[in-house]
Amino acid sequence: MKVSQSFSLVQREVTVTAPDSQESKQGSAELCVAPWKCKNQWCQGCSKHLMAVFRDQFRPIVNEWSFGQMITLTVDPKQFDGPEQAFDFFRTDRTIAKLMQQLRRKGVLIGPEWICVLEFQKNGWPHWHILVHSKFIPVQLIREGWRYGRIDITKSCQFKTHGHAFNYLTKYIGKFENSAVPGWVLRRARVRRYSTSRGLKVQATRAMVEE
């Protein structure tokens, strides 16, 4: 798998040593090209590389799904003090993971695989796009696990292929031009922009071993 490397211009100080002399002095700073290595999913440079790896790893699996549904979960600002407090609540409570487990127990998911992408609205509030392996999900079942805002479901018939659905979902990864990423997200570590179920990770690992 060949993926292009992202680079950045960084400033470094140059040390100059005169010939036949043990003395050295600091020279002026110069610009040099260095690869982005922070591996932060919100980094403008690293995100493009990580997105390419993510797509290559999971697209072949999603393309094999018999059906797919896209769920979008938004947050009602009246229920929380602010966007950061809402995000912390959902992450600590593992709300989305619990919702997926509940839907699986109800028998509406064909398999345990799902992909979730976090995005922020212009007002700074988070919402999630979740691609699941399912033919039909009654909205009332989702409402049992998500009572915090609006629910939208995009049916698989609205996508040309399952790959189309996957591309539609992952277009949010690496999109910076029109996205409003709050400052608290950039300042904090390990705020995942995208995540997958354990079942999908297992399938991807098996596929890599078989190759």
Cα dihedral 119→159→55→173 (10° resolution): -20
Does 142 have pLDDT greater than 70? yes
Please state the φ and ψ torsions of residue 35, each to the nearest 5 degrees.
-70, 145
How large a percentage of the chain has pLDDT more than 90?
A: 29
Tell me, what's the pLDDT at 113? 84
Q: Kindly report the number of other CB atoms within 10 A of residue 200's CB atom.
A: 21
Q: Which residue has the higher pLDDT, 195 or 157?
A: 195
State the helix-helix crossing angle for 198-210 and 46-62, rounded to 10 degrees.
90
Mean pLDDT, the chain, as a whole number? 75
Res. 6: pLDDT tops 50: no
Report, as an integer, the average pLDDT of 195-207: 68
133, pLDDT greater than 80: yes
pLDDT over threshold 70, residue 1: no
In order of 4, 86, 201, 211, the CA distances from 206 in angstroms are 24, 36, 9, 9
Contact between residue 130 and residue 104 where contact means Cβ atoms under 8 Å apart: no
The angle formed by the CA atoms of residues 87, 53 and 205, to the nearest 5 degrees, is: 90
Query: What is the distance between the alpha carbons of residues 71 and 75, in angstroms, rounded to a whole number?
Result: 13
User: Which pair of tokens denotes residue 135?
Assistant: 């033919």
Structure tokens at 62: 């999603």
Rounded to whole angstroms, the Cα distance separating 43 from 36 reads 9
- Among 18, 46, 22, residue whose Cα is nearest residue 34: 46
